[in-house]
Structure 1
Amino acid sequence: MNDLANHPVKLGGVHHAAYRCRDAKETVEWYQRVLGMDYTSAFSEDHVPSTGEYDPYMHVFLDAGNGNILAFFELPNQKDMGRDENTPKWVQHLAFRVASEEELLAAKEHVEGLGIDVLGPTHHGIFKSIYFFDPNGHRVELAADIGTDEQYAELKRVAMPMLDEWSETKKAPRHADWLHEIARKEHNL
């Protein structure tokens, strides 16, 4: 399709992903306590550097590991934080990798021990996940990869045919039914 090797933009990873929060201090403390993230830095301005408009904010940055930074904005002069009511709550989420299924189960025990409701583990064929919400209403996922190199290669191979079929039919393509079969077998369904 596209010759990505010669693409003029060479990305070096995600510098940071930014979301809104209700309270910057509460958010930093929650991500430290619940996920062990290191609070690395903050910026606070009265005027937005990119637009020049007056809109005081606190912008906080947390290290999610491997150079991945999660950031939040507290915007006290804006309307209360909401969400896109036309998008189901399960769609928009922050997903973090943990090293193993054992670490996933330990994380679940830790998060539940803090009084947070946790859904899962959910088996996705090539990874397992747990889900819960942060104090801002953002859904958080922890995921442990459990697939084989062959399974990941097969998913890469069928990615474009699946996208093409979806684009034409808007129905779930069946190219990766084997993923669902793996999950069904584990749950004896």
Structure 2
Amino acid sequence: MTTALKGIHHSAYRCRDAEETRAFYEDVLGLPLAAVVQEEKEPGSGLPNPFVHLFFRLPDGNFIAFFDAPNSVKDGDFNMAHGFDRHVAFEAEDEARLLAWRDQLNGAGVPCFGPIDHGFVKSVYFADPNGLPLEITTRVAAHDTILAEDARTAHATIAAWSARKAAKAA
């Protein structure tokens, strides 16, 4: 087996407008714009499709990134996605900062609800201008203990879930 992956460098999504996305992630969320790559052709295929690729730096050194490629936009690309389909969860240091983020977002006109207590984390939810669901979460004191316990039963839980789905499909 190869060596373990180090982590996630960036997650990338399509955006409706580079400046609108920059204003949200930099001005509202406080993530500095770290780089913008501008190209005339798609990497790999070489097909003509002018785009910019924006990178916003997170405090841990990783990035969230966006493509503004207006020539390849399809109807529905910016409809609100369901959080089960995809979402990004940022992490706040503690519950006080989580609540401060909720209040700051609501104050900036970004509807934000929560916190929701998920047992191992508490989270608030909102969306970016592109329809991407976002979450800010914070770990509860027992976070690591709860996850360690879940890890012991994780494979059995998946097996039981798969059997339940198979029985329902039969």
TM-score normalized by structure 2? 0.89
Structure 1: which 4+ aligned runs deviate by more than 6 Å?
none
- Contact 1:133–1:139 under 8 Å retained in 2: yes
Indicate the residue corresponding to 2:97 in structure 1: 103
Q: Relative contact order (C-alpha < 8 Å, sep 6+): which is higher?
A: 2
| Gap change, CA 1:93 and 1:51, over 3 Å in 2 | same
In structure 1, list runs of 5 or more residues that go unmatched: 1-6, 172-189
- Contact 1:22–1:136 under 8 Å retained in 2: yes
- Contact 1:63–1:70 under 8 Å retained in 2: yes
**Which of the numbers 150, 155, 158 marks the counterpart of 1:163?**
158
**Which of the numbers 45, 51, 54 marks the counterpart of 1:51?**
45
Indicate the residue corresponding to 1:153 in structure 2: 148
Q: CA RMSD in A?
A: 2.0
The whole-number CA distance in structure 1 between the counterparts of 2:106 and 2:118 is 21
Indicate the residue corresponding to 1:30 in structure 2: 24
- Contact 1:22–1:81 under 8 Å retained in 2: no
Partner of 1:77, secondary structure, is: helix
- Identity, % of aligned positions: 37
- 1:106 CA drift (Å): 0.6
Paired letter, 1:151: I
- Contact 1:94–1:140 under 8 Å retained in 2: yes
The whole-number CA distance in structure 1 between the counterparts of 2:81 and 2:10 is 24
- Contact 1:44–1:57 under 8 Å retained in 2: yes
The whole-number CA distance in structure 2 between the counterparts of 1:57 and 1:15 is 20
- 1:83 CA drift (Å): 4.5
The whole-number CA distance in structure 1 between the counterparts of 2:58 and 2:76 is 24
Partner of 1:11, secondary structure, is: coil
Q: For this pair of structures, how many residues does the alignment match?
A: 164
Confirm or deny that 1:137 pairs with 2:131. yes
